[in-house]
Every structure is written in C-alpha cells, then in structure tokens.
Amino acid sequence: MISVIIPAKDAEATLGMCLSALGQQDGLQWGQDYEVILVDDGSADRTAEIAESFPTQVIRQPNAGPATARNRGVQCARGSVLAFTDADCVPSPDWLIMLTQPFKDAEVVGVKGAYLTKQEGLVPRFVQLEYEYKDARMHRLPSIDFIDTFSAAYRKEVFLQNGGFDETFKNPAVEDIEFSFRLARKGYRMVFMPSATVFHQHDRDLKEYLHRKYKIGFWGAYMLRWTSERFLRDTHTAPTQRIEIILMALLLVCLPFIAIWPAYASLAFLAMLVVFLLVTSPFQAFIARRDGRVLPIASLMLLARAGALGVGLLSGFLLPPRARTKNLPCQSLTVRVAKRALDVIAGTLGLALSSPLIAISALAIRLDSRGPMIFKQERAGAFGQPFTIYKLRSMVDGAELMAPALSSMSSPKGPTFKIPNDPRITRVGRILRRWSLDELPQFWNVLRGDMSLVGPRPEVLHLVEQYTDEQRQRLAVKPGLTGPVQVNGRDCLDFDERFQLELDYLRHYSLLRDLQILAKTLSIVISGQGLV
C-alpha cells in the first residue's frame, strides 16, 4: 500500500485535476494499491467538498501550514511508503510507479521526482528550465540530499523515526527540504527519479517569481541555522548560484557611488556585470539549447533571482522568525569554519612533525612482515559518505579476510568489531598501537577534509549499514583522529556506552571541548596507553 498525501489550502481551482490524474495511475488501483489522503489546511473555499467527490480520505484542520498538514496525513496513512504531491500538481499516469520503483533497493529511503509544465509564457518556461538545469545535475549523482514534496516519497518507518516535517515552518517555503537535509545528515540514501513527473503551474509573471524567491531566501536563512553544513553546497543548487547572489550584492553597492565617482563606480559596476554574465553563462547556454525563445529574458531573470534570494536571506538572518526547531543542534557556520581552520593548521603541523616517525615505522613494518606499509580502507565519513582512511599497517596482510572467522571473539556489543589481544596484530603493530603511531598518516585525511582532529571515530561501511536510526546521529559530523570515546575508556566500553559519549559530544559541542579532548589525547599518547 502506498499512501498519497496532499496538503491543500483554497485549492478548488486545481484540486480536481490533481485528483483525477491520481485516479488514472497506470497498473495501480485506487483503494487497493494506494490511498489518497487530503488534508484541508483551513480552506475558505470548496477544497474539502471537491476532495470528498473522489474516494479520498479528507482531514480538516485549522490553518497551520503545509508541514503540519503533511504530518497530520501521515498519522492516518496505512501505507509503508508515503508519497507526497501538491494540490496544484497533476501527476503523470506513471507517476506512482516511477516514484516508488527505487524502493526496490533496500538502502533507499527517499525519492525525488521532477516538474513539467504546459505553460507557454516566457516566465514559466524560464522557471521550467531552472528546474531542468538543476535536475540534469542531480541525475548524475548516485544519491541526493535535497527533496521537495511536489513529487516525493519516503519510507514511512524512517519518516516517523525522524519526526516528520518541522512544523516550526508555518509558511510553505523550505520545510520539506529541511527534512531531507536532516536525513542526509544521518547518511541515509535518497535518489532522484526524473521519470516521476508532475505537471505544475509555475510563476506566471516576474512579480510572482520574485515573491517566491524572496520567501525561499527568508526561510532558507532560518533553515540554515540548523543545517549549516548545507550553507555552501547541496545537490540541488548549483554552486554558481551562491556566487550570483554575492555579485548581485556588489552590483547594488556600486550604484550609490556612481553619483559620487561616476567613472570609477561605473567601471566597477560594468566589471561586476560582466563577471555575473560569465558566471551564469553555463545556464544561459543550457537555455539556448533547450528553448532559445527564453534567452532574451534570461539575464534579467537571473539578476532578479539573485536579488530576491539575497534580500530574502538578509531579511532572514537579520529578522529571523521567533520559532525554534526541536531538532538536534548542529555546529554553526562560524564554528565549522573555525574547526576547519584548526584542522588545517594542526594537521599540517602534525604531518610535518610526524613524517620522520612515519618513515621509520614504515621501514620497521616492511622488515617485520610481508605486505604494504600503509593500510587503506573504506570508512564512513560525514553524512555516511565513504572515504579512504590511511593507517600504518599494524596487522598481518589480508587481516580483513580473516575477520568473519574471528567475529565470535568480538567483545563490544552492537555494530562494531573489536577483539581483545587480536591475533592478527604483528609484533611491530603492537608497538605502533601502544603509542598510537599507526594513526599518524590520518593527518593526511584531516588535511584532505575527510576527517577532523576531533569527532566520532570513522566506522567501516558494512557496520554502518547495521546502525539504527538513532545511531546514525554519529554521522552528522566528520569523523575524528581522536574523540570523546578515545579519552574515556576506549575498548573497555561497549557500543551503547560509546554512542552515548558521542551523542553527548554532538549535543554539547564547543571548540573548547575539542581542545580539551586534544590535550587529554596527548597525555594518553605520551603515557603509552594508545587510543584504539
């Protein structure tokens, strides 16, 4: 069973077409294979009456916003998969089939579909090309972090475990995106399905377009307070769009100075405008290939987009909504920048100072046993993204292949693998581990940005696949060279105890705490206790 949930407010003009299209889904029978739940979010028109003329479950509530409406619909849903669309969307006949197809892969928890439009106006066609340009970028990615709910689906179990959409977003803007960012933080896999299409009425004119972009910027600023890791990059927004906002701000700054220093200010303005056009040239080339008739208004629309988003972001940062989310706190952008700066400085110093020790240890490894001097392994990084970790080899060559036979000897409970007095460790390896010398090459991982100096230790991928939803919270930050577990018991702790230490670290994060962990780590290493 698939549960299709539609939030609606004053939607009598479009709802009938939406529900009619849902009644004609290829290969599926309404009521048997899927149900449709419409949540009337305080409509003052005939929205509920129109919905009741179809075999639709109708839920009425006072106006509380689309996030609350969707969550209310989920409470009544019988399906194991939740599909979402909007009352002004007309799903294609194969929409549900295409949207739910990726769930055949057990790792997939969320799916995003695509927009189409039949409008002929230049502004809506420009909007459609915006979506197609971003979709082309997402289509190349194995997983995404951005899902908006005009065409979306989630596994119900994961949706409920994560509390659904954040109801502090009272206006429709980015509340659906925030939820997908939250799942991405836990390393869940979400995918883009371009064939899961719905037809939509895009912005009809420049006024509507500017209003929508302003709202996205305003609520985006609020959202980024809780998902700062997406401030500079997400899988939907082209990196150049952020540059466009900065350039637009510089263009506006130049304008007042034209009256004071006309020559210099005008030259600076023209230079910024040329740079803006160069930055947007890939998208304009895309427009020329797809729909050349839109090209004459493209530059104006791009300037308007950058201006509206920028003003919205500025308003959101200066005059943020008073609402407060209940989600797990995250590191602010300022803290992330400071933490990265510390990683680069200390990582560079650590790698430089440890290079002689690494060279001597590598030679000892080569003389002691056969195999490579450096051990490489795929580990789960921030948001569950895999990366290659580097260590001085402390075990016999092929130790990973011996792990299944030794699994019964693993002492900590939970999804982890630790063996006391591991028989695979070499003679030199025991010395390296006692003084934590085997971890020294990970300064290179820190410099690359795969790891941080302090954080939860990186786990192997197959163990991460066994994590519960709660345990996935440890994937919200970069793994560390050291961390709260390494200075509070290490191998003496079972997985649950280690996880609680890491969760406390995430909830009460501060740079001062990182420095305290680093100082304690240094003391442990000097004492020869080792860290892992």
Position 178 pLDDT exceeds 70: yes
Say if residue 79 is in the same domain as residue 226: yes
Residue type present at position 233: R
What residues contact residue 474 under an 8 Å CB cut-off, 6+ apart? 456, 499, 502, 503, 506
Q: Report yes or no on 326 lying in a domain.
A: no
Contacts of range 13-19, beta carbons closer than 8 Å, 24 or more positions apart: 14/87, 14/88, 14/90, 14/201, 15/47, 15/50, 15/51, 15/87, 16/50, 17/90, 18/85, 18/86, 18/87, 18/88, 18/89, 18/90, 18/91, 19/50, 19/51, 19/54, 19/56
pLDDT in tens, 33-47: 999 999 999 999 999
Say if residue 302 is in the same domain as residue 398: no
Return the higher-pLDDT residue of 14 and 413: 14
Position 532 pLDDT exceeds 50: no
Work out whether strand 34-41 and strand 57-61 pair parallel, antiparallel, or are unpaired: parallel
Q: Report yes or no on 532 lying in a domain.
A: no
pLDDT band at residue 58 using 50, 70 and 90 as cut-offs: very high
Q: Structural domain tally of the chain?
A: 2
| Section 387-409 average pLDDT | 81
Q: Using the 3D structure, point to which of 287, 318, 349 is the last residue of a domain.
A: 318
pLDDT band at residue 412 using 50, 70 and 90 as cut-offs: low
| Section 358-370 average pLDDT | 93
Say if residue 337 is in the same domain as residue 239: no
**Helix (H) or strand (E) segment spanning residue 95:** helix 95-100
Going from the C-alpha of 43 to that of each of 38, 39, 77, 172, 203, the distances in angstroms are: 12, 10, 21, 15, 22
Structure tokens at 337: 């920048």
User: Whose structure tokens read 């001097």?
Assistant: 373
| Section 151-160 average pLDDT | 97
Say if residue 392 is in the same domain as residue 300: no
pLDDT at 490: 64
| Section 171-198 average pLDDT | 91
| Section 216-227 average pLDDT | 85
Say if residue 303 is in the same domain as residue 365: no
pLDDT band at residue 224 using 50, 70 and 90 as cut-offs: confident
Domain limits for position 123: 2-318
Say if residue 234 is in the same domain as residue 268: yes
pLDDT in tens, 116-134: 999 999 999 999 999 999 9
Position 531 pLDDT exceeds 80: no
Q: Report yes or no on 481 lying in a domain.
A: yes
Q: Using the 3D structure, point to which of 318, 341, 364 is the last residue of a domain.
A: 318
Q: Report yes or no on 176 lying in a domain.
A: yes
pLDDT band at residue 414 using 50, 70 and 90 as cut-offs: low
How many Å apart are CA 518 and CA 531, to the nearest integer?
A: 12
* Termini Cα distance of the chain: 47
pLDDT in tens, 338-354: 999 999 999 999 999 99
How many Å apart are CA 476 and CA 331, to the nearest integer?
A: 10
Return the higher-pLDDT residue of 19 and 228: 19
Are 335 and 513 in contact by the 8 Å Cβ rule? The answer is no
Q: Using the 3D structure, point to which of 318, 345, 364 is the last residue of a domain.
A: 318
Residue 232: count of CB within 10 angstroms of its CB: 11
Say if residue 169 is in the same domain as residue 40: yes
pLDDT at 528: 63
pLDDT at 199: 97
pLDDT at 138: 92
Say if residue 414 is in the same domain as residue 286: no
Beta bridge partners of 83: 4, 153
Say if residue 71 is in the same domain as residue 103: yes
Q: Report yes or no on 380 lying in a domain.
A: yes
Backbone angles phi, psi at 60, to 5 degrees: -105, 140
CATH of the domain at 271: 3.90.550.10
Q: Report yes or no on 324 lying in a domain.
A: no
Are 524 and 531 in contact by the 8 Å Cβ rule? The answer is yes
Round the average pLDDT of the chain to a whole number and report it: 90
Q: Report yes or no on 328 lying in a domain.
A: no
pLDDT at 287: 97
Position 114 pLDDT exceeds 90: yes
Say if residue 265 is in the same domain as residue 153: yes
Least confident range from 162-171, 241-250, 510-519: namely: 162-171
pLDDT at 406: 67
Q: Report yes or no on 323 lying in a domain.
A: no
Say if residue 363 is in the same domain as residue 266: no
Position 408 pLDDT exceeds 70: no
Among the ranges 53-62, 314-323, 464-473, which has the highest mean pLDDT value? Answer: 53-62
Say if residue 491 is in the same domain as residue 451: yes
